[in-house]
Chain A
């Protein structure tokens, strides 16, 4: 395969954004979790919620800090590698991205400092308010960046003059057709990512008999959220899928592995899609089921990939498998959730070692699901960068050579591996230290710096 500047630039963008996304995927849910803990502490006055909250605030601080650092890289990617995209689409997407940045900084400036360092400086209701504002702020950031992303999938509210995109109606740009579905699906996904991290960390402690009281609370809270959100995610994902079927049919055909347009479409559980032969090998299928859930009748006609010109098809194998990985992760979450109901009924939730071990090892499920889902939707948009209007190949910076991008990609990879490796090592150390006997850091007389990462000084 010839690696050209377009493909390498895509790989580079995927690399830096995937790395960055892992952090907000965790901190968005964590911010809300901390707000809930702070609220519970405020209203019940039970110190256990405070201990749990202080523990997660430290984890939050390190993760948020790494998220900020990796986020600085993102806006410049559009300029360095996708300058034609920047020129053609900038009028529409750049103000939305700027809102994302402004919101993030407004939040960091105003309330993060109070959350991280202000425990003893402000009354407890104000500390709760700060936690709430940080949580709402992260959701606002999510809102704006998903507006941009959704608009690239289902562009709306713009007019085109000389090949450039101009905003015509900002409300239509913001509330583009896929946005509400994508927003709900993504927020639920990142909440689940946090929930299964909390569950896993609690299980880790329970297996070793450490911080038992705190861990029981964390486990129950995490599983309680999962009880609501894991089933709900199936519904939200289905709605998002139907939205995709309507607006991006070839992506859906790639997700389902459908080549032929017909009624009685099978649900393909597993297969090896062959793009050259336009067929699946070794397929395991359930006849008629895809028609049933996509067109709501067994005879319902669903478009297959052969109906689209080859140059308009997404990379089928990537989309097909990424979707199945995401689904498998959901299955794992559902399994753990249902198992926890059963154990809860039998009052053996905290004692079943196999269950706790599975929970412990399942910490990455949310991260894998979110990344796989993101690959599904983004690879599924190809070959377009703005679906139906601007091809990815036409968006890349002209006279960027493959050598240029190889150098930058290798440098990003090396630096990220080193820096985020160190960050991850430090997160593990924090989890190892656990929630016991921890004092909240403060911005007291010693003028401790109000920075995210320094809130996590354990030694």
Chain B
């Protein structure tokens, strides 16, 4: 009995990574916006708007990381060491901002310490994730079954640019989240920040979309060869339409659609990335099938995943439902 489970695991892993980017993306974005808020009351509201859900959001990072290890161990064994320092910095950043949520509320004199920890942790973790993404698209030096580059291969213009781009991307998610979750002065401020972030994200998306095919001829061929160009044109078109929709909803003072549109923009970017690297999981050398663990390993884990993953998804939905509506100053977090 040999069933090809690679497509199933590709979908599960793709979902886990995308869930992580969307969910932790907006709460990291709120952390980056944090010190620039108009006043201390706004800062408390911002923190309250993500406090109950951030740790649930981060579970997707573990599921993504450990899922990659279990389903595609070879990819794990190349991508993770190649991202040695970005991952180190990301983990330390996430630790700082994670405990900042708690210790900020408990500290009196030392509160400014945890304010800094929240901002810098969020910023550094986001930038590091962008660098990981950038060096992923850029591709790795691989010999045999191992990463053959140095631990500083990520120190190149393209990964660093993507790092900065992702900071603006998460800021866009964070700001549109705040538009939906707050009102009055803070909402007005968030809308302004979302507009600025949208301009920056559009610019970075254009730069990265032009730069990526130039990095790797196979990516250029994927997008620009006939008839692919016809089939794939809807992706950049959709991105353009969604960006325009987001711009419009920010200007017409809509509340619910802005966050939705920002997520849509991320989805088009994610799809674009998937199209560029398919069928590889280690760009541009190792395919999903070459990196996959044995069917026995994938099947063994699939049983538990199919049982537990829906429950985790349902619980996530429930906790957002409990926490629906605008955050108020009297939300009792202090």
Q: Which residues of B contact A (CB under 8 A)?
A: 51-53, 55-56, 58-59, 61-63, 65-67, 69-70, 73-74, 76-81, 83-85, 87-88, 91-92, 94-96, 98-99, 101-103, 105-106, 145-151, 293-294, 296-298, 300-301, 304-305, 308-309, 311-312, 315-316, 319, 322-323, 330-333
Residue pair A451, B305 in contact (C-beta under 8 Å): no
Residue pair B67, A400 in contact (C-beta under 8 Å): no
A–B Cβ pairs within 8 angstroms, 29 of them: A69-B95, A73-B95, A75-B65, A76-B65, A76-B80, A79-B65, A83-B81, A87-B73, A87-B74, A92-B297, A94-B70, A95-B293, A95-B301, A105-B62, A105-B63, A105-B312, A108-B59, A167-B296, A170-B296, A170-B300, A412-B88, A446-B332, A448-B332, A448-B333, A453-B101, A454-B101, A454-B102, A457-B105, A459-B106
* Interface majority SS (helix, strand, loop, mixed), chain B: helix
A sample of 19 more A-B contacts (CB under 8 A), given A72-B91, A84-B146, A98-B305, is A75-B62, A79-B65, A79-B69, A79-B79, A80-B80, A80-B83, A80-B87, A86-B73, A95-B298, A103-B308, A105-B63, A170-B296, A422-B103, A423-B99, A447-B52, A450-B322, A451-B52, A454-B101, A458-B106
Residue pair A411, B92 in contact (C-beta under 8 Å): yes
Residue pair A166, B294 in contact (C-beta under 8 Å): yes
Residue pair B81, A79 in contact (C-beta under 8 Å): yes
Cβ contacts under 8 Å, A401 to chain B:
151
Query: Is A101's CB within 8 Å of the partner chain B?
Result: yes
Residue pair B150, A454 in contact (C-beta under 8 Å): no
Residue pair B315, A90 in contact (C-beta under 8 Å): no
Residue pair A446, B305 in contact (C-beta under 8 Å): no
9 closest cross-chain pairs (CB), A and B: A79-B80, A90-B73, A449-B52, A446-B332, A87-B77, A94-B70, A453-B102, A95-B301, A109-B315
Min distance, Cβ B58 to any Cβ of chain A, angstroms: 7
Min distance, Cβ B289 to any Cβ of chain A, angstroms: 14
Residue pair A400, B103 in contact (C-beta under 8 Å): no
A399, A426, A457: residue with the most chain B Cβ atoms closer than 10 Å: A399
Cβ contacts under 8 Å, A87 to chain B:
73-74, 77, 145-146
Q: Chain A interface: which size bin?
A: 35 or more
Residue pair B63, A110 in contact (C-beta under 8 Å): no
User: If the complex has contacts A69-B99, A166-B294, are A97 and B94 also in contact, measured as CB distance less than 8 A?
Assistant: no
Query: Is A287's CB within 8 Å of the partner chain B?
Result: no
Bound: A81/B88 CA distance, A:
11
Query: Is A352's CB within 8 Å of the partner chain B?
Result: no
